[in-house]
Structure 1
Amino acid sequence: MYADNARISHRQLFRQTVTALLGVYFFFIPMEESLRGRQGVLCLVSASLLYLFLIIYFIRIRNFFSRPEKYLGRLWGRIFLLLYVSWLWMAGICLLLLISRLTGRFLIEGSIPWLVILLSGLGAWLGSHQGLERRGRMGEVCFLPLLLILAGMLVLTVSGMKLSYLREMGPLSFSGWAEGTWSAVCLLLPFMFLPAALGSTEKPGNTGKLMGGSLLLLMGLSALSLVILQGSFGLGGYEHKDYPMVDLMSGVRLPGDFLQRVDVFWVAAALFSLLFALGSVFFYSHELLYRGGMEKGTLLPFAGMVITALACEYSGVSLDFFLDLNRRVYGPLLLFLLLAAGYFTGRRPGAKESRSKKTDRSVDRNAGENTDRRAGQNAENRAMMKVSRAMVLGLAAIVLTSLTGCGISLENRVFPLSFSADYREGHYQIIYGIPQLSGVTGQDKGDTEASREQAVVYEGLTMEDAEEDFQENQENYLDMGHIKVLLLGQGILENREALEGLLEYLEDRPSVAGNIYLFSCKDNEALMSLDGQGVDSVGDYLKGILENTLDKQETRAVTLQDYYNAWHRGEDFPPLWEVSVVNKKPQIRQNS
């Protein structure tokens, strides 16, 4: 089933394509303003139909990309390749930025952006010299687990959809459809590099079905994600978000509910897909430059991508800039280059033989020439790998030195399981429900002084000021990734501006999951004082009561994501269930 050296099978090409592009489209398609609602789905369908017809054309021009200089001459062949490959360089810069920002925001809080960019770029560059067959096997092995995580968790989000949101039709016009279709066509530009990949594929003339299958799978999942985003957030509910799919995943609950933030699994899988895509960018950039006889200068563009990404990160360049550049410049440019490739392929002079025989002989000649050149490159690659290993060891030493002592161990963190917020006399009042570790583990058997401590209220004009008040009295790092319930006082519920300030504060902290439950409370301080006294943890206690009585609930419990949706859509906030203290125990009362 595995392919020979310098060749990949049809299945490997299919799995490589899906593995590299699945994460890319999950992040970038929701960013396009013209791809929203029913119009967005229609535009994806239109662009997919166009590319299904183009697949036949891609197969016809595949020989051109084996040796462009044979059709255009040495100078124009190299110019053609440089223009063609420049899209890969732009995509590499964009992917490096996205990987760095996702890592720092969702996976490793406080990570150093330049270090993430440098490590990602170096890893992708080293992978570009590993050979096509190794890359094919890697894509084949990683495809199924990646698809199960990304698509499986996407299916789990269906339960959070609202029928009323799905009924919102949104705008639909010819101009909007045309603009959205062009945006979708430009997002599918990676498929325009398939003619270059077909030269290294077994029986390239029979790849139409697998290319169409990969396109339909990717666009089908992308269209499904747009439908689920609308059903979960509503039209106008996610346009402001930088990464809508991550916010969508923050509302997922896995069976057993053993982890509050399950979105980290989806983000990690999507990040792996992005890294695989980055490796594809570096690999095919190296491959195309090699075909044009420019293999000695392959290191320069790789270094340029990393340096440019570092400059863009320092300058705060938005990812929308690259989407706009892709739509305005590279969409027309790549279409023109592919049309030119088809034109010169058709004009190629040859002997008085049939087109099929001429094509077969051309492929054989190219294969022989490439084999000779590959043999010469193998020795160069072995020497380069020795240098690469030395570079990796040196960089690893630098990284380990820079990271020493920077991690925050568990004993130096505090994990609130509940969070209380109120607004009185122009000040936010917050309480963190941090249970005593001994009480939670059952080791605290006596009535100690610590177990009788009252909840401490922290105040500030803004939520940031209130948090700073807490930090001034706390030596440990505040980790809000385990909060299970949010308690809102009457003061903040009656002041929409203050409530929106709280929601903005929480939304800017990815560690706070969107699936935590919200309750109202008339006496927050008395309720939060039960931590370590009446109950081990107010957060665990309230969540346990709620989930043990799901069958008896007349109305659905409100989550933080419900409040986010109402805030961004300008709707009234849904009523909350009320929590009070009865016999030193929290008690929940449903609102009618």
Structure 2
Amino acid sequence: MQEPYFMNNQKISARQVKRTLTLELLGISTLLLPSLVATDSGVDGFFALTAGGGGAWLLLKFWQKHFRQQNFSQRLEQMSGCVRVCIQVIYGMGFLGLAGFVFYVMAALMEQQLLGNGWEPMILLTLAAAAFFGLVRGLESRVRVYEVLYWFLLIPLLVILVIACAGIEPNAWTPVAASTLPNFIKSSYVSFLFFSGASLYVLFLKSCQKKEQAYAGTRHALLVVLGLNLVIYLILLGVFRTELLAHRRWPVIDLMAVVKLPGNFLERQDALMVGIWFFCLFAFLDSMLYYAVDFFAGILCFRSNRSIQAKEKKAESGIGPRTEQVEMTAENKTNTKKIVLTAVLVCAAACIGSFLLHREAAAQRIFHGYLYGVLPLLLILPVFCGGRKQNRSESEAEAESKNRSESEAIAEMKHSRRQRNF
């Protein structure tokens, strides 16, 4: 008998962080950001993107120093119950809402570019089933897929961008410094919000084996995403010019309409571009759902963990069943709860996407409200999650660290023994 993957494989490497985060941020930023920046800044949008990326990099350095001793999850556990639950609800709802918007974007993209009208239920059901399967298989299984797909997606994209350079008109890159200062600041701020997705480092830090390598992988992903956004923006400006670029819904997808591959061996060139962005957006969708499940599960499973600790104390004193039996029973119950919770949240996100489909005006209003209201709140909250202040001597801290390491080693031995028994 094999245990569910949902809880057993929650560790990822620095390379997996780098590749998965690159694909997650690349899809959503290059699809939506060019038209937003071109609307306010035009040619100066290139410098706005650079400023936004620089701000996101500074924020990432701040997170590295801020969470050097304890990660975000450890600080949440130290907070009082009411405050902790409120923060978890805010983050859970924030990630769930963003997942619903990504559902909408993917369904609209596939409907408009590939399948046509009438396929909405099939598209949403397929996306929901794939997202649920990816979440249940576990974090490591999911990131391994994107670790393999990384170069299979980036190499065709780079080839397309190189070919697209032939259609660039350099005059479209002028005049420079023509936008007003308020518009430039607005574009820089929007760019910063998109690139601040690198702050997911705060959340996946607990799943990384080495903190320094996790930071290096996140920084590398941010630089790659920023570089590709700058290149794509220059190409889109040179091909479409500012006025047309600002009114395009998905300009990077429309780029395939003007790019002619040698030999015309692809009848539907746009399908190649949609395929690349589909996998990138799906990686982002699964990531948002994963964190939504993680925060809501933290609320539901917190009391269960406290009851487990109480039962373990009784077992150690000779009252009640053995500790190992208590752990196995509790783990099975927790896995079942998480699977049910995952199904509920995936369905909720799909319902949000279905509601927004064919309601573009409402979707845009909700997206801008999230971008300027909810997302800044999600970025600010970790600063104030300091946990309870503890006045302890260094010797006490070292003793606690040693005890924690011993308990983790014992738990790992028990887990290995259970796997052998299964």
Give TM class, smaller chain: 0.7 to 0.9
Cα separation, 2, equivalents of 1:88 and 1:366: 32
Equivalent pair of 1:67/1:366 in contact (CA under 8 Å): no
Return the index of the structure with the highest Cα Rg.
1
Equivalent pair of 2:48/2:188 in contact (CA under 8 Å): yes
Equivalent pair of 1:89/1:281 in contact (CA under 8 Å): yes
Aligned 1:261-276 pairs, distance under 5 A: 261-276=268-283
* Structure 1: segments with no counterpart, 5+ residues: 383-592
Residue of structure 2 in register with 1:180 after alignment = 187
1:225 paired to 2:232: yes
Residue of structure 2 in register with 1:352 after alignment = 393
Residue 359 (structure 1) shift: 9.8
Residue 187 (structure 1) shift: 1.5
Distance 1:234 1:315, change over 3 A: closer
1:394-438 CA distance string (max 9 Å, x none) = xxxxxxxxxxxxxxxxxxxxxxxxxxxxxxxxxxxxxxxxxxxxx
Equivalent pair of 1:65/1:196 in contact (CA under 8 Å): yes
1:338 paired to 2:379: no
1:163 paired to 2:170: yes
Equivalent pair of 1:68/1:77 in contact (CA under 8 Å): no
Residue of structure 1 in register with 2:251 after alignment = 244
Cα separation, 2, equivalents of 1:290 and 1:6: 15
Residue 371 (structure 1) shift: 6.6
Equivalent pair of 2:40/2:186 in contact (CA under 8 Å): no
Distance 1:370 1:193, change over 3 A: farther
SS of the residue corresponding to residue 143 of structure 2 reads: helix
Residue 194 (structure 1) shift: 1.6
1:119-162 CA distance string (max 9 Å, x none) = 21222122111112212211210111111122321222111001
Equivalent pair of 1:81/1:288 in contact (CA under 8 Å): yes
1:564-586 CA distance string (max 9 Å, x none) = xxxxxxxxxxxxxxxxxxxxxxx
1:543-568 CA distance string (max 9 Å, x none) = xxxxxxxxxxxxxxxxxxxxxxxxxx
Equivalent pair of 1:87/1:330 in contact (CA under 8 Å): yes
Distance 1:278 1:366, change over 3 A: farther
* Structure 2: segments with no counterpart, 5+ residues: 1-7, 302-333
1:230-264 CA distance string (max 9 Å, x none) = 11111212222211112212111112222354222
One-letter amino acid of the counterpart of residue 45, structure 2? G
1:307 paired to 2:348: no
Q: Percent identity?
A: 20
Residue of structure 1 in register with 2:292 after alignment = 285
1:56 paired to 2:97: no
TM-score between both structures, scaled by the size of structure 2: 0.79
Residue of structure 2 in register with 1:197 after alignment = 204
1:325 paired to 2:329: no
One-letter amino acid of the counterpart of residue 237, structure 2? Q
Distance 1:354 1:292, change over 3 A: farther
Residue of structure 1 in register with 2:22 after alignment = 18
Residue of structure 2 in register with 1:544 after alignment = none
Residue of structure 2 in register with 1:105 after alignment = 112
Residue of structure 2 in register with 1:7 after alignment = 11
Aligned 1:162-561 pairs, distance under 5 A: 162-169=169-176, 171-294=178-301, 296=337, 297-313=341-357, 315-341=359-385, 344-345=386-387, 348-349=389-390, 351-353=392-394, 364=405
Does 124-133 or 293-302 show the bigger shift?
A: 293-302
Distance 1:289 1:202, change over 3 A: same
Cα separation, 1, equivalents of 2:46 and 2:395: 44
One-letter amino acid of the counterpart of residue 12, structure 2? I
Distance 1:160 1:11, change over 3 A: same
1:362-416 CA distance string (max 9 Å, x none) = 97489679979999xx9xxx9xxxxxxxxxxxxxxxxxxxxxxxxxxxxxxxxxx
Cα separation, 2, equivalents of 1:371 and 1:292: 24
1:46 paired to 2:46: no
Equivalent pair of 1:246/1:267 in contact (CA under 8 Å): yes
One-letter amino acid of the counterpart of residue 80, structure 1? I
Residue 109 (structure 1) shift: 2.7
Aligned residues: 371
SS of the residue corresponding to residue 289 of structure 2 reads: helix
Higher strand share: 1
One-letter amino acid of the counterpart of residue 105, structure 2? L
